Each structure stands twice: as structure tokens, then as C-alpha cells.
A = this chain, B = another copy of it.
Amino acid sequence: MRRVTIDEVAERAGVSVATVSRAVRGLPNVSPATRKRVLQAAGELKYRPDPNASRLAAGKSGVVIMAVPTISSWYTAQAMAGVEAVLQGAGIELSVTLLSDSSSRDRVVSEPGLLASRADALVLLDLVPTTFEPDSRFPVVVVGDHSDAFDSVSIDNVHGGRIAGEHLVGLGHSRVGLIAGAEEDKFTAVTMLRTRGLEEALAGVGVSLEENAVVFGHYSGLGGYEAMNELLARPNPPTAVFALSDDMALGAIRAATEAGMSIPHDVSIVGFDDHELSFVLGLTTVAQDPAGLGAAGAQMLLDRLEGHSGAPREAHGEVRLIERSSTARI
């Protein structure tokens, strides 16, 4: 597997390395005959340009890094798939970096430039840089959250929370519980925004979200299960529960069922995400499309890489309520 170099191809084709370089990259200024000869030689030798050499010489890396807070969630996987799809189409490599602990997140958030040495551009999932100044030579896009300084693509989380709340309110519920994400959610405003949306909906009918009707489920199924158990143990349990992710909602359903309640008869549950199992399990939920967000973000990056400059752009993904069988009139 010794590397076949451009020199060998040049020699075999009887041309200079410069010509080989042009020919294999499809650049102009190569006669059809020469190009054919070069391509043939390259093929016979199984020549593959060394990406590192190319990038070094060309002054760019051909790699974009995607930094994610966690890798094994439905949301992350979807977003990655979306990013990967458009990047692959552009011949760019996707490198994934996990920022699992908050110290590594802090580091990237305050100094995204650290990653600049490893790639041409950066996509941040649910993370927004604080002190970093935009630099036209190092495009950064924020997916899943909003940023004033960088390109970003996100959903309207307040609206998402609101439609969930309105749905519940519309069904006559006034005592609604909230299963929020993680308490130490410092870098994403998601929990906060969705909560605000819910509160707005409740306020519309003169109800407020009680302090002790909020529990945290850490965006996991198990977390949602435990959170629901807590909720049900309260003196005056809610008649409806809004979980900020489908995983948590499903856990909540389980808890309610085990407690002998039937859904939606005894308690209504709304989730957020619309991941595949939600359909299958009949969960009413606020649907979003993280793969679409990722794809849109990657596209913005590509534009920047192609020289597009200008003010930070902002795109928004859709959210909509999908009514299934986990909610009902009280």
C-alpha cells in the first residue's frame, strides 16, 4: 500500500506533474488527448492524490468538524445524518468531536478557534459560542440554537412549547406538569424556551405553571420515567404532562401505566421530537426535523466556504403538533 505519487503518474503518462495535477482535477488548460492519457495512467497505477498534501499545498483542509454534546441520541444522530449528507455531496469530510463534559464544552464555546486548526469550518450542535469572534476565514454554523454572531438554523422552541400547551389547554387541561431536560443545561436555551411557550399557552387561560409541577428528566427515557413517578407522587398530580423530548414522554407513559393509570384517559401526555417510535406508540408530540436542520446548516457552511460573506444568516425549521392517541379531553 505504498503511496503512488503524482510523479509516477507523470512519468508514465509522459507529462509533467503540473499537467497531471490539472488533468486529474478536471481543470482547464489540458488538451483532451493529454487528459485522456493522464487519466489512463492514473487509473492503471491506482493513483489517489494524498489529501494531506493537497490540502497543505492548497491551503485548506477539506474537513469540517461537527461538535456534539452527546452522540447517542436520536436528535444528534438525525442532525449528523443531515450534515453528512450534504457534506458528502460536496466531497467534504465530516469529523465528529464529542464534547461530553462541560469543561470541553466550555473550551469550545469560548474558543472555537481551537478546532480551526483541524478543519475548514465548524458546525456546533446545540452549542453557541460566547466569546469567539466570527472570522470570515473560519465559518461556523450553529445548529439547534440561535446565534447573533454566526449563521444558525434552529426551530422556534417557544412556539413548539406553545402549541403543545395550547393543545392541552384546548382539551380542557389546566393542571399540567412539565418534564424538562437537564438542570445543568447551561449552553442550550432549549429547555427554557419550550417552557416559556408552555407558560404562554397556560397564561392564555389564566393558568400558571406551578413551581412544583416541573421535574427534570435529562432527556432520557429512564429520566422521564422517574420524573413522571415524582409528578404522580405529588399531592395534586397533573392531568396532563408535557415532556420536552419523546424519550422522556415514553418513559412517562410507562410510569403512568405502571401506576395503574390509562392513557389518555387518566392523564394526557405530549412529547417533543416525533422520533420514529412515537408514531408507533401513538404519542402526541411536537414534531421537528433535526436532519433537515443539519442539512440546512451544512449548506450554509458550504456557501461560506465558497466565499459567500455577509451578515450571519438565520434559518428556521418547522415544528408542528402531531395529534395521536396519548392526549384527550379531560
Contact = CB atoms under 8 A, between A and B. Distances in A.
Contacts of A114: 48
Given A72-B74, A72-B291, A96 B84 contact: yes
Nearest to A118: B51
Nearest to A55: B52
Contacts of A3: 117
A69 interface: no
Contacts of A113: 1, 46, 48
A93 interface: yes
A261 to B, nearest CB: 15
Interface string A60-74: 010100000001111
A95 B95 contact: yes
Interface centre among A73, A84, A282 (most CB of B within 10 A): A84
A77 interface: yes
A221 interface: yes
A73 B275 CA distance: 11
Contacts of A49: 117
23 contacts: A48-B114, A51-B61, A52-B52, A63-B95, A71-B80, A71-B81, A71-B84, A72-B77, A74-B74, A77-B77, A80-B96, A93-B97, A93-B118, A94-B95, A96-B96, A220-B276, A221-B276, A222-B279, A222-B280, A247-B276, A250-B277, A254-B282, A281-B281
Q: How many copies does the complex hold?
A: 2
Contacts of A276: 220-222, 247
Contacts of A56: 50, 52-53, 56
Contacts of A72: 74, 77-78, 80-81, 291
A109 interface: no
A251 interface: yes
Nearest to A282: B254
Contacts of A187: none
A88 interface: yes
A306 interface: no
Interface residues of A, number: 56
B81 A98 contact: yes
Interface in A138-153: 138
Contacts of A216: none
A21 interface: no
Nearest to A137: B1
A76 interface: yes
A24 to B, nearest CB: 12
Contacts of A137: 1-2
Contact of A116 (B1, B118, B254): B1
Contacts of A250: 277, 280-281
Given A1-B113, A85-B98, A94-B96, 18 more contacts: A1-B135, A1-B137, A48-B113, A49-B117, A51-B117, A52-B55, A52-B61, A56-B56, A74-B74, A81-B98, A84-B98, A88-B97, A93-B95, A221-B279, A222-B279, A222-B280, A225-B280, A250-B277
